Amino acid sequence: MVPNKDFVENSLNSYDTEDLSQIALLRSSFEEAEEGEWSQRYHRRPRQSARALREIVGAVKTQNIIELKDIEIPNLAPRTISRTEHFLAAMISGGERQMWGLNGKPLVYFTSIFVSLGVFLFGYDQGVMSGIITGPYFKDYFNQPTRAEVGTMVAILEIGAFFSSIVVGKVGDIIGRRKTILYGSIIFFTGGTIQTAATGIPMMLLGRIIAGIGVGMLSTIVPVYQSEISPPHNRGKLACIEFTGNITGYTTSVWVDYFCSFIDNDYSWRIPLMMQCVMGALLGFGSLLIVESPRWLLDNDHDEEGIVVIANLYGGGDIHNAKARDEYREIKMSVLLQRQEGEKTYMEMFRRYRTRVFIAMSAQAFAQLNGINVISYYAPYVFESAGWVGRQAILMTGINGITYFLSTIPPWYLVDHWGRRFILLGGAIAMTLALCSMSYFLYLDIQLTPTLVVASVMIYNAAFGYSWGPIPWLYPPEILPLSIRSKGASLSTATNWACNWIVGELTPVLQELITWRLYLVHAFSCAASFVVVYFVYPETAGMRLEDMGALFGDATVTANTPAQLAETGSLLGACSPVPSMDLRRGMYSGGTPRLGPSSAIAGLDIDPPHVNIQNGKPRYTEDNDGLSEGLGGWISRVVGRGEGSIRSGKSGRYNALDQDD
């Protein structure tokens, strides 16, 4: 039986902070209201009644957390350093001098640019085949493949990416964002090596699908990681920088194809494929140096490492810094509120967050159905149909790539000022007009057609590069709550790859069957995307990730956060939430979850843990040479060595480096 509104309000007025039974009853009431039973009782104003109850539940949850006082704070767990790690630390630390590490804005941009290598590989793989498939040595080596065979070689990468993007969300929640980037890089490197050494179409297809698995992992987890380390006031800017990495990869691959086309042997297509292996190896090595997302750390109870990372981000390494501790509490509270509701299944995710999931999936679908990969994958074919032949078609593709790259830079400065909606709407209009013009000029087939088609393609790519290129990768991770962020990002990325495969597989065939009419199909998709954005997509510029739910009316986030109720404002509005790159910091948690301290209200500990400090700074145990744990221990933790992550009963500091395991 659903209690009426008066009962809920009376329960709130008589609420006892020591009694959790009333919280459970109120939560049960809300869940039943979501199922419609509340609507039956208040049939005239069901939405208003459910909203009122949602606010009451949110208020109870907030009161529950803010009332926490005098919580026992755990000490930093010890960690034993192996002899191998001791050797690596000695090589990298340089005696008693502490290693210099980035902080603040330099670290924000360095981290964002570096992880953009993940989407660089995505863009490189998109463009590298466009110049290869028109080369004479490639055609001869693979016995003049048909249009259907070429389409399969190009599009099969999307098959691997589709399936990996579905499961990588769960993988990222289990092993972390950083390890997922590492393993994705290794898989991509393997696939690129097989492509480079291909001796026939079957081997090429195998390499493409393996590389696709790696690309799917990277294209899913990198936007999530980037959104979780970015401040709200320039989260859009950093996401656009990430997309610029994608287009840099595409443009680089086209020009590599062009210069290698002057090679008169099979290396004209093997070298471009080999270059992707180099970038994959660089990303894999670099993933050993970046630290984990603070939000993932707190969501998995790695509180000691989480507070130190946040202190490095917000407090200059001082774990007693008020802003850093407030930010810790805000993130931890959001984690605990969502954890109390339990893990969300895909069915629950669609039911409760259907608007958010629809936005995340439709944004990625339109990004592909709007026709970008007709140009990315088959630009030389497009230019050949307009009158440019052979190497000239690849050259035009390279020039178009430069325009494409330049168009991705203005959103760095516009996306957080103009907003997401305005940019998407303007881009949809410009793309529709450019595709219609392209179709019309191909239909006319006059002397100026080659020049006019190139101009239309450049206008289209520029419009896509500043709008529907970066924004669909920004929307999903920023609008989805932490409890479903990886799952939702997986679904949205899988949608991207599914539509990507459809376009890549059908384009060569449709270019022969319906010729210039193909571009009208994509123009219609652009017009449809304008309508959907106008009526469905909200503006999210400048909002904190923890506050997104208020935009969609979620019960778990209508409660005010501690920082919102305090005298000081949210830290994220002024500081950078990017982990420190100082290799002497961050070695604070083992591989097993910590059991939190007991508190007045079980399961609601949001105070930061203690770490061993000296003069307000994290203090590290040193051996006789003054060396602390550095890159060696970090690498050990990345690859999951059991000895390095076991906690002992001691607390307060690490063991000395020269102690045996």
* Burial class (CB within 10 angstroms; exposed 0-12, middle 13-18, buried 19+) of 198: buried
User: Is the residue at 392 inside a domain?
Assistant: yes
CATH of the domain at 504: 1.20.1250.20
The reply to whether the predicted model has a pTM over 0.85 is: no
| Structure tokens that stand for 469 in this block | 């290129």
Produce one character per residue of 447-456: b if its CB has 16 or more CB atoms within 10 Å, e if not: eebbebbbeb
Picking from 136, 95, 398, the residue whose alpha carbon sits closest to that of residue 263 is: 136
- pLDDT at position 361 is 92
User: Is the residue at 275 inside a domain?
Assistant: yes
| pLDDT of 114 over the 50 cut | yes
Average confidence (pLDDT) over 649-661: 33
Cβ count near 508 (within 10 Å): 22
Higher pLDDT pick, 1 / 55: 55
Domain boundary pick from 536, 568, 597 = 536
Backbone angles phi and psi of 549, in degrees to 5 = -60, -30
Q: At what angle do helices 147-175 and 372-386 cross, to 10 degrees?
A: 160
Q: Which residues pair with 613 in a beta bridge?
A: 618
State whether 236 and 211 are in the same domain: yes
Q: Which residues pair with 614 in a beta bridge?
A: 617
Highest mean pLDDT: which range of 16-30, 82-96, 262-276? 262-276
Q: Which helix (H) or strand (E) holds 318?
A: none
594 sits in the region (left: phi over 0; alpha: psi -120 to 50; else beta) called: beta
For 150-199, how does the pLDDT look when each residue is reduced to its tens digit (9 = 90+)?
878 887 888 888 888 888 878 888 898 889 999 999 999 999 999 999 99
Place of tokens 């210069």: 259
User: How far, rounded to the nearest angstrom, does the alpha carbon of residue 205 sit from its chain's CA centroid?
Assistant: 27
For 439-473, how does the pLDDT look when each residue is reduced to its tens digit (9 = 90+)?
898 888 788 888 888 888 889 989 998 899 888 88
CA distance 95 to 594: 33
User: Is the residue at 544 inside a domain?
Assistant: no
State whether 229 and 369 are in the same domain: yes
Place of tokens 């490095």: 312
Furthest CA-CA distance within the chain: 84
| Structure tokens that stand for 407 in this block | 């168009």
- pLDDT at position 609 is 64
Percent of the chain with pLDDT strictly greater than 90? 15
State whether 335 and 352 are in the same domain: no
Average confidence (pLDDT) over 315-328: 75
Backbone angles phi and psi of 78, in degrees to 5 = -75, 160
Q: Which helix (H) or strand (E) holds 582?
A: none
User: Is the residue at 554 inside a domain?
Assistant: no
Backbone angles phi and psi of 175, in degrees to 5 = -95, -10
User: How far, rounded to the nearest angstrom, does the alpha carbon of residue 225 sit from its chain's CA centroid?
Assistant: 5
Q: Which CB contacts under 8 angstroms, 24+ apart, belong to 190-197?
A: 190/214, 191/160, 192/273, 192/274, 192/276, 192/277, 192/280, 193/277, 195/273, 195/276, 196/270, 196/273, 196/274, 196/277
Q: What is the 3-state secondary structure (H, E, C) of 250-296?
A: HHHHHHHHHHHCCCCCCHHHHHHHHHHHHHHHHHHHHCCCCCCCHHH
Question: Can you say whether the dihedral through the CA atoms of 30, 35, 38, 39 is positive or negative?
Answer: positive
Higher pLDDT pick, 295 / 432: 432
| pLDDT of 526 over the 90 cut | yes
User: Is the residue at 267 inside a domain?
Assistant: yes
The answer to whether the CB of 555 falls within 8 A of the CB of 58 is yes
Average confidence (pLDDT) over 274-278: 91
| pLDDT of 477 over the 90 cut | no
State whether 167 and 211 are in the same domain: yes
* Structural domains in the chain (count): 3
State whether 572 and 493 are in the same domain: no
The Cα angle at residue 438 between residues 436 and 442, in degrees rounded to 5: 120
Backbone angles phi and psi of 614, in degrees to 5 = -145, 120
User: Is the residue at 651 inside a domain?
Assistant: no
Q: Which residues contact 8 (CB under 8 A, 6 or more apart)?
A: 26, 29, 53, 56
Q: Which helix (H) or strand (E) holds 648?
A: none
| pLDDT of 604 over the 50 cut | no
| Structure tokens that stand for 644 in this block | 């390095």
| Structure tokens that stand for 94 in this block | 């340089």
Backbone angles phi and psi of 116, in degrees to 5 = -65, -15
State whether 370 and 265 are in the same domain: yes
Domain boundary pick from 41, 66, 91 = 66
Domain boundary pick from 536, 570, 586 = 536
CA distance 493 to 161: 9
User: Is the residue at 55 inside a domain?
Assistant: yes
User: How far, rounded to the nearest angstrom, does the alpha carbon of residue 90 sit from its chain's CA centroid?
Assistant: 34
CA distance 140 to 143: 5
Average confidence (pLDDT) over 134-163: 86
Average confidence (pLDDT) over 298-314: 78
- pLDDT at position 378 is 66
State whether 297 and 284 are in the same domain: no
Picking from 475, 537, 485, the residue whose alpha carbon sits closest to that of residue 349 is: 485
Residue 432: C-alpha distances to residues 80, 123, 411, 437, 459 (Å): 61, 23, 20, 9, 11
Place of tokens 């602390």: 628
CA distance 461 to 143: 33
Q: One-letter amino acid identity for 382? A: V
Q: Which letter does DSSP use for residue 638 in this model? A: H
Q: Which residues contact 447 (CB under 8 A, 6 or more apart)?
A: none
Cβ count near 581 (within 10 Å): 21
User: Is the residue at 421 inside a domain?
Assistant: yes
Q: One-letter amino acid identity for 324? A: A
Average confidence (pLDDT) over 370-381: 75
State whether 175 and 93 are in the same domain: no
The rounded mean pLDDT for the chain is 70
Q: Which residues pair with 617 in a beta bridge?
A: 614
CA distance 218 to 118: 5
Domain that residue 636 falls in: 83-100+291-340+559-645
State whether 91 and 235 are in the same domain: no
87 — pLDDT class (breaks 50, 70, 90): very low
State whether 245 and 351 are in the same domain: yes
105 — pLDDT class (breaks 50, 70, 90): low
DSSP string, 342-359: -PPPHHHHHHHSHHHHHH
| pLDDT of 244 over the 60 cut | yes
State whether 585 and 505 are in the same domain: no
| pLDDT of 143 over the 80 cut | yes
The answer to whether the CB of 496 falls within 8 A of the CB of 365 is yes
State whether 117 and 264 are in the same domain: yes
- pLDDT at position 165 is 84
